[in-house]
Amino acid sequence: MEVILFKRAALSAAVIAAMIAPGMALAVQDTMSPSYGKSYEAFVEDAKLSGGVFYFQRERDRKDGAGDGQYHSNLSHSTAQLALNFNSGYAWDVVGVDVGGYGAMDLAVDESNPVNEENEFSFWGNSWGGSDGRSENGASLTNAALKFKFFDGAVTAKGGLTQLYVPGIIGVNWSYQPGTYRGGQVEGNFGNLYLTYAIADEYKAPWYRDTQKFSRAKAWMDPFADENVIDYIHGLAARYTFENGMAVTAAFGQSEDYMDSYHFKLAHKFDVLGGLNTSYQFYGSKTDDYTKDGGEIETYDGLAWQQAITFGWGAGPYGFRLEGLWTKAEGSEGNYLPRLTRGYGNSQGANEIWWDSRSDWNENNEKAVFFGVTRTLDDLVGAAGWTVGLSGAYGWDAENGDSTIKNGKEWAANFDLMYTVQEGSLKGTLFKLHYTDYNNQQDDKGSWYYPNMFASERDVKFHIIMPFTVL
């Protein structure tokens, strides 16, 4: 085991060194130039201090299908956030620093409701799995990282507490703020070719205060017992964009002794329908069936995957989306997880499919389709800044992980109303109302009859996002 870990660590270091070393040589040359004595001033002169004030209110009712068949309050709360971020310039055109954080306060919480553990806009506790089921007020860092650039920015790197993104493999959870890894990333843009590599050993979702180790177990399964701890995750990706606009992305990710993940994306824009954006996307994962001490902890039986086809086009003030999903997730999990670790919020993947329709539409053998239309109202007198949207999703053929339960169905309808302030001191402030009517066709059999398909819900979310710049 020690030899394997050493080889992987050496490989990681070699990849980073291979991309950074030429730039380091360039940096040394910069220190010998006549302008060296002044170039550190860019650290302050190019710095930015910005942030935002945020408000979130949610009212969610969930059906007690196996009980009285009625909807009951499931979440009821309002939360405010204040975020502040400092992004320096690059001293000597090489090195800088990013520091940022935020505070969150619940303004109202229904204390009579025993289930308010899903407020992702305040805090569930200090670390993953440590919540007592009640949200808390507090503050947390999102960034505390060094950043570097070389070759006039063609190669960049960062390390510390930061956000990592490897297409299709590693991403972050979001509230208004992003999740945070303890790790680093290097990226290179070489003409039409983009390359990146990232590695991390800890993570926190934005509703936790502290980073914590990765785990192959869920939060209630003794996740940080020695046999379940994952020491690191890492991933690399390459994307090539052809002159005709077609882009091909391939990526690979790995969590130590647990999961290998794969991603492929083919995207192209056609000169029809005002610009038709299309893509085919593949996400796949294979897990090791055994823990470090030899115990069995099955997640997937063979290769689990999710495939997607997407279409997006515009017509004047209208925007349209048509997307489809197909999932295979045989094994004890029974649904496809787009991340390199087990439990929700312990790390995050980078699946691009987001329908904001409550369900993940990722049950074993499930097929699902989504259609949405938005309309900006800028062309109407007195309606500048307004946008409305309607969308819906439908999933069928859902199964549990061993296919003993079949033919599951679910659907959702959504309504969106958005307004962006067009002028004045609040210019850029966004007001957004989102409503989802989600329906599980198996309510009478109880929530979680399928592994990741909860009971029917009516969900109302209201956002106010007010960005500001200090300098």
DSSP string, 289-343: SB-TTS-B----SS-EEEEEEEEEEEETTEEEEEEEEEEE--SSS-B---SSSSS
Q: Would you tell me how many other CB atoms lie within 10 Å of the CB of residue 13? A: 11
371: tokens are: 């259609």
Check residue 274 and give its pLDDT: 84
What three-state secondary structure class fits 109? strand
Which residues is 373 bridged to in the sheet? Answer: 320, 390
Ordered per-residue pLDDT tens for the chain, 471 residues: 443 443 444 444 444 444 444 444 334 444 334 444 448 899 999 999 999 999 999 999 999 988 889 999 988 999 999 999 999 999 999 999 999 999 999 998 876 665 555 678 999 888 887 766 678 899 999 999 999 999 999 999 999 999 999 999 999 999 999 999 999 999 999 999 999 999 999 999 999 999 999 999 988 888 999 999 999 999 999 999 999 989 999 999 999 999 999 999 999 999 998 899 999 999 999 999 877 777 788 899 999 999 999 999 999 999 999 999 999 999 999 999 989 999 899 999 999 999 999 999 999 999 999 999 999 999 999 999 999 999 999 999 999 999 999 999 999 999 999 999 999 999 999 999 999 999 999 999 878 899 999 999 999 999 999 999 999
DSSP state of 123: B
Find the helix or strand (DSSP H, E) in which 39 lies. helix 36-39
Q: How far is CA 310 from CA 8, 297, 354, 363, in A?
A: 36, 34, 11, 19
Within 13 Å of residue 32, how many CA atoms lie on the same side as its CB? Answer: 5
Q: How far is CA 236 from CA 3, 88, 96, in A?
A: 22, 27, 24
What is the end-to-end Cα distance of the chain in Å, rounded? 50
Rg from Cα positions in the chain? 23
Check residue 117 and give its pLDDT: 54
- Asked if residues 376 and 384 have their Cβ atoms less than 8 Å apart, the reply is no
Dist. CA 309–CA 397, nearest whole Å: 18
Nearest one of 253, 259, 255, 306 to 287, comparing CA atoms: 259
Dist. CA 129–CA 110, nearest whole Å: 22
- Asked if residues 391 and 403 have their Cβ atoms less than 8 Å apart, the reply is no
118: tokens are: 């899903």
Q: Where do we find the tokens 């997607």?
A: 308
Dist. CA 261–CA 349, nearest whole Å: 10
- Asked if residues 15 and 166 have their Cβ atoms less than 8 Å apart, the reply is no
- Return the amino acid letter for 230: I
Within 13 Å of residue 351, how many CA atoms lie on the same side as its CB? Answer: 26
Q: Would you tell me how many other CB atoms lie within 10 Å of the CB of residue 469? A: 10
Q: What is the pTM of this model?
A: 0.91
**DSSP-derived secondary structure for 412-429:** EEEEEEEEE--SSTTTT-
- Asked if residues 263 and 249 have their Cβ atoms less than 8 Å apart, the reply is yes
- Beta strand 193-204 with 180-190 is antiparallel
290: tokens are: 């055994």
DSSP state of 450: B
62: tokens are: 């969930």
124: tokens are: 């569930």
Task: Quote the Cα angle for 343-348-351, to 5°.
Answer: 120
- Asked if residues 50 and 468 have their Cβ atoms less than 8 Å apart, the reply is yes
